[in-house]
Amino acid sequence: MKKLIYLLLLSSVQTSFAQKASKPEQFAKTITADDLKRHLYIVASKEMGGRETGMPGERKAAAYIENEFKRVGLQPGNNGSYQMYYNVYQDSLLDASLEVAGQKYSLDRDYTVNVGNSSDATLRFSEAVFVGSGAADSVKNMNLAGRLVIVQGSAGYQFLQNKGVAGILYIGSGFPRTTTSARKGQQTINLFKRSIRPQEFTVSESVAKAILKDDFEASKSNKALIKTYPAEILLDVRKTSNPLQTSNVIGILPGTDLKEEYLVITAHHDHIGQRGDTVINYGADDDGSGTVSIIELAEAFTKAKAAGKGPRRTIVFMTVSGEEKGLWGSDYYASHPVYPLEKTTANLNIDMIGRIDPKRTAGDSLNYVYVVGDDKLSSDLRVISEAANKKYTKMELDYKFNDPNDPMRIYFRSDHYNFAKNGVPIIFYFNGTHADYHRPTDTPDKINYPLMAKRAQLVFYTAWEMANRNAMLKRDIPLNIPPR
């Protein structure tokens, strides 16, 4: 019975496609491999520096996208602006001090500081608790709140973060350092935190010996050792939190009779940046491929509008930043929606559609795309998606990542999820990971541009139906988040 209902719905949607006065093929064909390649060699270029959120390269990418939105004829999507700015924050170490019994030690020669996990504070301890690498279970019930703990290495001590300790000294190697340790911490989107992390220093053996004294050698072999050592220890950190401005880029194509309803098409234009001055993570597939597809989709729809075949609903084209940091840009939009989420019929999200998954051994590797989330939130999603594919692109739609037991949890790992968790039906288009994922070798020369164009055209045809059908997509399937 369910299969019969599905076939009837599929037939209805196919009829809907056939009955449209305009034929979308002429506009879909403007999404070409050559145009995608031209854009991607710019977005994933050396000049963009890996597009790390808040960095100059990411801002250059946002400016390029804005200019392309203007060129193709989109209107500014954020109250007269193409940019939706928000701040992220990055800690910067100004100075640090470490003393044991009045003996001063030197940064990088004797110790380093975990900038992101330490606070701007001066702490003075009269003792330190040594915990051997095999004694973790023994100290889990100890009251270590406000104490200074010293351990061999850093592995296996995550539980200390939740014990309320005030400071952790990890006994490390490689001192004195031959290069300067990092002076900047990881970025965060929240300047004000729920809790304060302990001061974290990695110290040389000479610092450890000054605290443990005659027990130092025994501490390396006695993994069960738990002992408190009296010592006057000063940990001082001076740092500042610097705001970095980043943005989502939003352009809109106003609809006609249903212009107060919206279809949002997204990709993320940020990537993971670079190491030093020379090692650039280009991010051609992740997610340069989605970013340039957004530009081409916008151009195809604006050409349709210029020909008198514009969408009934307003289409919001948006590239977001901060995806690699934790879906920050899409979360910011979902928390500050420019267009009501309850009036958003769907979100189509494109994140990596330019390559082939080498782990996919069945089917045609040159004619597939992973379709994620079309079995959730709305029973209309798969019907529309499969009808568009059957009529126009005829690709293999692979539903592998819809599995609720997917170990990679792909459904939760890109920007569509911030729409889904707010009830907006989504489809996520994805080619799977590969050996160049998050590596400097993810470069534009490795993209399969004809396949990428075909995948982008599938998004176009699906969006065409969603933007023009009489009713918004139903929201008739509850959001179900399986436990981790």
Q: Is a pLDDT exceeding 90 seen at residue 113?
A: yes
Q: Is a pLDDT exceeding 80 seen at residue 137?
A: no
Per-residue confidence (pLDDT) for residue 277, from 0 to 100: 84
Q: Is a pLDDT exceeding 70 seen at residue 364?
A: yes
CB 176 within 8 A of CB 108: yes
Higher pLDDT, 117 or 298: 298
Q: Band of the pLDDT at 154, cuts 50, 70, 90?
A: confident
Over the stretch 119-133, which tens digit does the pLDDT of each residue have?
999 999 999 999 988
Q: Band of the pLDDT at 160, cuts 50, 70, 90?
A: confident
Cα distances from 336 to residues 89, 166, 344, 350, 423, in angstroms, run 19, 36, 14, 21, 15
Q: Is a pLDDT exceeding 60 seen at residue 98?
A: yes
SS3 label, residue 173? coil
Q: Is a pLDDT exceeding 50 seen at residue 302?
A: yes
Say how far apart CA 466 and CA 380 lie, in whole Å.
10
Residue type, 260: E
Average pLDDT over residues 149-159: 82
Which range has the worst mean pLDDT, 137-151, 167-181, 241-255, 293-307? 137-151
Are β-strands 313-320 and 279-280 bridged in parallel, bridged antiparallel, or unpaired? Answer: unpaired
Q: Report the candidate in 162, 135, 166 with the shortest Cα–Cα distance to residue 149.
A: 166
Q: Write down the residue that tokens 């968790």 correspond to.
A: 421
Cα distances from 119 to residues 88, 198, 235, 397, 467, in angstroms, run 18, 8, 10, 49, 50
Over the stretch 207-219, which tens digit does the pLDDT of each residue have?
999 999 999 998 8
Average pLDDT, the chain: 93
Over the stretch 260-298, which tens digit does the pLDDT of each residue have?
999 999 999 999 999 988 999 999 999 999 999 999 999
Per-residue confidence (pLDDT) for residue 162, from 0 to 100: 78
Q: Rounded to the nearest 5°, which phi and psi values hold at 414?
A: -140, 180
Per-residue confidence (pLDDT) for residue 195, from 0 to 100: 84
The full set of domains in the chain, from first to last, is 2-89+244-468 (3.40.630.10), 91-242 (3.50.30.30)
Give this prediction's pTM: 0.89
For 164, the token pair is: 């309320």
Over the stretch 404-441, which tens digit does the pLDDT of each residue have?
999 999 999 999 999 999 999 999 999 999 999 999 99
Say how far apart CA 313 and CA 472 lie, in whole Å.
9
Q: Is a pLDDT exceeding 50 seen at residue 19?
A: no
Q: Is a pLDDT exceeding 80 seen at residue 464?
A: yes
Q: Is a pLDDT exceeding 90 seen at residue 336?
A: yes
Average pLDDT over residues 83-91: 96
Q: Is a pLDDT exceeding 90 seen at residue 384?
A: yes
CB 264 within 8 A of CB 419: yes
